[in-house]
Structure 1
Amino acid sequence: MKSDIGQLPVVPGTDVIAFALVSLLAISVMTVLYVAKAFFLPVATAFIVGTMLSPAANFLEKRRIPRAVSAVLIVAGVGATAVFIIGLISAPLIEWTNRMPELGARLREKMQIFDRPLALWHQFQGLFGDNETLSAAQFKLPKIDWMQPTVEFLTPTFTEFLLFFATLVLFIASWKDLRRATIMNFSNHEGRLRTLRILNAIETRLGDYLLMVTMINFGVGIGTGIICAVTDMPNPAGLGALAATLNFFPIIGPVVMFFILVVVGIITASTLGAGLIAAALFVGLTFMEGHFITPTIIGRRLQLNALAVFVGLAFWTWLWGPMGGFLAAPILIVGLILKEHLMPLNAPQLPQE
């Protein structure tokens, strides 16, 4: 009788096991990123923003400004710009928060136009035995209860701010050394050349993305401010700054700004129709920006699939909050660059239909 010693059993479903292991690894990584958000979010944001700002540091370095000094100047400039924008947005927000009871009364008055449709809806509900009623008169704006959780969600802690700025300065100052060390980790010429191309592509595309998107959003902010000024909206500068800031968050940002303009317009305008003019003009502005201006300026090389952007935006916002939404598009760009260089077009492809 022949012995079966030395014959290894064939394990069925090797691909399934590999897929399960990769899935477990992905779940583990997401869990670590979520639990340790206070560390990974500031560091990841500093890495991505630092890569975007590296071309500016290179420009200053060519003007014989030391790299470390360039890093401090760039971060100081970015911080001053952020403080200026926050000041424009926070001033009207604080004023409106203090006037919340008055604004709630004015909004209820404007919403009386919906009393009759609501009454018809309640009669329709009554046919199916639903006696719960809701009228425009019952609508009330919260006094201040929503402010604390909203601020806690939107603003990181002082430690996260400190970690972000320290990491950003050190990253920009040492980016050239980090590039060289990363490239020299590969022993063969092909690996070093591929790594160099990947790092150059990431730096160039992220820098172009930040420059172009900032210019476009600045234009959207100016356009929104002009629209608000023409339609007699309160504090057009603050609303313009808010529109420019929210436009850094693709898809979701303009939608949020539209609803803000609708609410502010309804409260402040004399009639309901007049209150919707600014929101309608803003829709036209964002339509022109999204369908003509952005594709023309950024070009097809940086144009991202809308579904991929939306899914990535939803995922990173769920994982890391608003800053995760800001990082969604740059992370997607980095992923596409890695795909281009690690899985080139001459790799095996699916057959054409």
Structure 2
Amino acid sequence: MRVLPSDRVVATAPEGAPVPDSKVELPPAIRRTEVMAFALVGLLVITVVAVLYVAKAFFLPITMAFIVGTMLSPAASFLERHRIPRPLGAVLIVAAVGAGAVFMVGLISSPVMEWRSKLPELGAMLKEKLHVFDRPLALWHELQSMVGGSDMLTSFQIPKFEWVQPTLEFLSPTFAEFLLFVVTLILFIASWRDLRRTLVMTFRDRAARIRMLRIINEIEEHLGKYLLTVTTINVGVGIVTGTICVITGMPNPAGLGALAATLNFIPIIGPVATFTVLAIIGVIVFPTIVGGLITAACFTGLSFMEGYFITPTIIGRRLALNALAVFLSLAFWTWLWGPIGAFLSSPLLIVALIVKEHLMPVNSPQLPEE
């Protein structure tokens, strides 16, 4: 009797019985070649970071000149369209920026030098004002002794001011680094057009050339807009801060406004440093601690409005940066290159995001939405 295919009996395992192991070998989740690639990329990143850290005296002025030069290139192109040769325009732009920087430094340095000569007297005044916290500290010590905890605040002392001179030396670059930055900046702006053409013609493929040209143009456009926008906002912050200092009776309002405008170029750290300076000066100058903190409190409100409403509205969604990315970039570049690295953290993050958008476009394979 012939058995039709439809009459075949399929043997099934009883319910609850274990499924037999398959003889087909599944491929490994991570291949050895992928592990080697990850390891090589990790070693490359570590090597690059180590080189940038060790050779800071060379790479920091060069990177600073490239970033600032890219920001100022639209101004050189504007002068060139008005029949001013690009090399001459580069010199004029660098001279104008240098004059503005010297003006700001002059406004800040005058009160700094005046207060620096009075540091012992000011320290004694600050210590006398902070005696109001002696009773809360004594209660804290008593509570710690009762619970048997470690006494972390055995003695409350005003921090000494020996850090002022090393900090100023750390912030000021050497003459060789400054000269390298200025010369590189002028030459970069003057030869930016030829340099851009060289970078584009490095690739043989036409599609790669077009992509490289788009990346360069977008970086130049966005960094130029970022510098103009941030500078305008920070000047406004400085003017408003100086006005607040005048209204509240703070000394040297012009210098404090210039300090606020300059420090505001450094995200997160700059406003915190300005608040600290205003709070210390206010506590020293005014008879009460509450009165001395009024200026710092007003600046906190101004900084909050600027950081969460004004700047995002003016910059727009295109240049809006993720807060976590800004913080991590700030922490990394500050650790690597100090205050100048903190200033460069946001522009370098913008460059990285633009390159990522072109190399990994939105229409590339993405993770599924949750």
Give the alignment's TM-score, normalised by structure 1.
0.94
- State the partner residue of 1:5: none
Could you report, residue by residue, the CA deviation over 1:291-350 in whole angstroms, capped at 9, with x for unpaired residues?
A: 111011111100000000000000000000000000000000000100111111111111
Residue 4 of structure 1 is matched in structure 2 by: none
Q: What whole-Å deviation, never above 9, does each CA across 1:173-231 have from its counterpart, x for those lacking one?
A: 00000011111112222111111110110000000000000000000000110111111
Q: Deviations over 1:119-168 (max 9, x none)?
A: 101111222165676455xx34535x222211221111000000000000
Q: Which residue of 211, 219, 225 corresponds with 1:202?
A: 219
1:7 maps to: none
Q: What amino acid maps onto 1:351 in structure 2?
A: P
Residue 142 (1) aligns with residue 157 (2): no
1:76-113 CA-partner distances (Å, limit 9, x unpaired): 11111111111111111111111011111111121111
d(CA) in 1 for partners of 2:254, 2:211: 47
> What is the rounded CA distance, in whole Å, between the counterparts of 1:204 and 1:104 in structure 2?
48
Take 1:65 and 1:133, find their aligned partners in 2: how far apart are those partners? 64
Matching residue of 1:186: 203
Q: Which runs of 5+ in 1 are unaligned?
A: 1-9
RMSD between aligned residues: 1.5
Choose the corresponding residue for 1:228, options 245, 253, 264: 245
The alignment partner of 2:191 has SS state of helix
Measure the CA separation in 2 of the matches of 1:328 and 1:245.
Answer: 15
Distance in 2, Cα, partners of 1:117 & 1:231: 29
Compare 64-73 and 121-130 and name the one that shifted more: 121-130
The runs of at least 4 aligned residues of structure 1 exceeding 4 Å deviation read 129-136
* Structure ID, larger Rg: 2
Does 2:95 match 1:76?
yes
Q: Is the aligned partner of 1:58 residue 2:77?
A: yes
Alignment counterpart, residue 126 of structure 1, candidates 122, 126, 145? 145
Distance in 2 (CA, whole Å) between partners of 1:254 and 1:90 is 19
Partner of 1:107: 126
Q: Measure the CA separation in 2 of the matches of 1:132 and 1:186.
A: 62
TM-score normalised by length of structure 2: 0.89
Question: Which residue in the other structure is 1:260 paired with?
Answer: 277
The one-letter code sitting in structure 2 at the alignment partner of 1:186 is F
Letter in 1 for 2:35: V
Q: Quick one: which of 250, 261, 265 aligns to 1:244?
A: 261
Tell me if 1:297 matches 2:314: yes
Greater Cα offset, 36-45 or 190-199: 190-199
Work out the percentage of aligned pairs sharing the same amino acid: 65
CA distance in 2, matches of 1:171, 1:131: 57
In the other structure, the counterpart of 1:95 is 114
Say how many residue pairs are matched.
341
